[in-house]
Amino acid sequence: MDNYTDTSTEYLTLYRGEYSGNKGGRHYSTDFEFAKLFTQSGKASEVATVKIRKRDVHVPSPIPYAGDEEAMDAAVAEATKLGKSAVMLSEGTGQPNSVYIINKSALVRRASVGNNKHIAPEYLYHGTSEGGFRRIRINGLLPQNGYIYFSSTPEYALSYAKRKGNPYGDRLLRVKNRNGFFEDENTGLKGDYRTDAKITPSEIEVSVMGEWVPIQSYHNQEINIMPLANTTITNWYKRAQAETTSQTKYYHGTPYTGVAEKVLSEGLTPPDLSSKERNFLRPVEGKVYMTKSLRYAIIYCLGGDMLGHALPEKWVTENPYGYVFEIAEENMSNNIQPDEDSIGELIYNKKFYWLNDLAKRIVAPSRLERLMRGEYIYFASVGKQLMKYLENWQKQEILESDEAHIAHSGTVSPTKAWRFDKKKSVLLKKDGSNFFELAERVL
């Protein structure tokens, strides 16, 4: 039995046997007695009870077996595309079905289903990325997996914006309280709120230079943001006009003289992969890889992360010189995407909460666990898997982060090049900041 006061058939009741070693999982049973089998002592008190809207649960046809990892991955991907928060799974013949939770925020843990009447403060706050901000200016705030999330304090919402590393300043939004905002009981944190209703741009303000400005009124031509509403130019806009932007430099490193000579004569061209074995680390066809990080390019120039260390004698004997190329942003095409390895690395470093949330919903738990343990081949493998699920604004947000590397479609010509004597690797600073003092300019 459950102790929910709401008996509406709109909700599906789920159960999970929990003890100290397995709390926080995503697998729930539709049967109370079956869930008890997974408790430590078989007591009913060790069974967690939750509810979820039936409309949020994807029921595939046929229902896949929970032990079939590939079938489960496919079902989760299908459910995500459909905007569902969970997927129904089979536990085998004669056993009750289970439900795998993709988005935990869809779960309701109290008897107050349909009766949550907590009133939010006068204003609620939402921190977002640069890509998200530009999208919200046009479309408003749209529920993701059923809800939009807010904080009752600007400081807490601002912490989310800061974690995203916005290039033009933290994007803090606020909306005025109206009917439909409820305290989010799933987070366990006071001051968290959510709504399942769309919020139009006309209801949203953005913090600019200490002032609250209607989001569609904000404009800054220096970063290509034009006004979307008729407004008077205010002091915040005049100050914003003083901001400046600069071209981004990208780097590419190789430890091989033969490869470098080809780049110098023909440009940086996608490699021929016809004879390359297909594995987790195989590059994407038709791409050349670059990075904003000089240090990362130097690692490729040396053949390994050996800045400040002497290289193995064999490395130096076979290839005495490594090369670093600089590519100007103006020389590149618009056809770029994040390097799949760096997507995995961003997940590992928990850079973007939405990226980790997407990974939890799409990637098999066993594969994601290996990535979070730091197994590098899963950085690339998971990155490749998630690439097709990323929206354009998400790709742009990744590309704008300092940690991201990029994959460029087609040939691109370098603007500068340096040759580095590998015997000098021991002289390099750990951050590579003295590389240009030690290297020889060849282009």
- What is the structure's pLDDT at 234? 39
Task: Name the band, by pLDDT with cuts 50, 70 and 90, for residue 152.
Answer: confident
| β-pairing verdict for 57-58 and 86-89 | parallel
Say which range, 231-245, 268-282, 313-327, has the weakest mean pLDDT. 231-245
- What is the structure's pLDDT at 19? 63
User: Is residue 332 over pLDDT 70?
Assistant: yes
Quote the CA–CA distance of 214 and 224 in Å, as a whole number: 17
Q: Is 338 helix (H, G, I), strand (E, B) or coil?
A: strand
Quote the CA–CA distance of 393 and 377 in Å, as a whole number: 26
The encoded tokens of residue 424 equal 């000098």
Model pLDDT for residues 315-326, shown as the tens digit of each residue: 889 889 999 999
- What is the structure's pLDDT at 236? 37
Q: Residues 227-247: what's their mean pLDDT?
A: 42
Q: Residues 143-164: what's their mean pLDDT?
A: 78
Model pLDDT for residues 173-199, shown as the tens digit of each residue: 999 876 667 776 554 445 677 777 788
Percent of the chain with pLDDT over 70: 77
Of the candidates 429, 413, 432, which has an alpha carbon nearest to the alpha carbon of residue 262?
413
- What is the structure's pLDDT at 135? 84
What integer best gives the mean pLDDT of the chain? 78
Exposure letters 157-187 (e unless 16+ CB within 10 A, then b): bbebbeebbbeeebbbbbbeeeeebbbbbbe
- What is the structure's pLDDT at 439? 92
Task: Name the band, by pLDDT with cuts 50, 70 and 90, for residue 134.
Answer: confident
- What is the structure's pLDDT at 32? 83
Q: What is the CATH number of domain 123-240?
A: 3.20.170
Cβ 255 vs Cβ 374: under 8 Å: no
The encoded tokens of residue 247 equal 């071209």
- What is the structure's pLDDT at 8? 44
The structure tokens 């102790």 sit at 3
- What is the structure's pLDDT at 278? 52
Length of the chain: 443
The encoded tokens of residue 320 equal 């005495």
Residues 6 or more apart from 370 whose CB is under 8 A from it? 378
Q: Residues 299-327: what's their mean pLDDT?
A: 89
- What is the structure's pLDDT at 325? 94
Quote the CA–CA distance of 70 and 76 in Å, as a whole number: 10
Model pLDDT for residues 377-404, shown as the tens digit of each residue: 788 888 888 887 877 767 777 877 766 7
Q: Is 375 helix (H, G, I), strand (E, B) or coil?
A: coil
What are the residue boundaries of the structural domains of the chain, listed by start? 11-106, 123-240, 249-441
Model pLDDT for residues 49-102, shown as the tens digit of each residue: 788 888 889 999 899 988 888 888 889 989 888 888 889 999 888 889 999 998
- What is the structure's pLDDT at 60? 92
- What is the structure's pLDDT at 7? 40
The structure tokens 């006068």 sit at 122
- What is the structure's pLDDT at 83? 84
Task: Name the band, by pLDDT with cuts 50, 70 and 90, for residue 164.
Answer: low
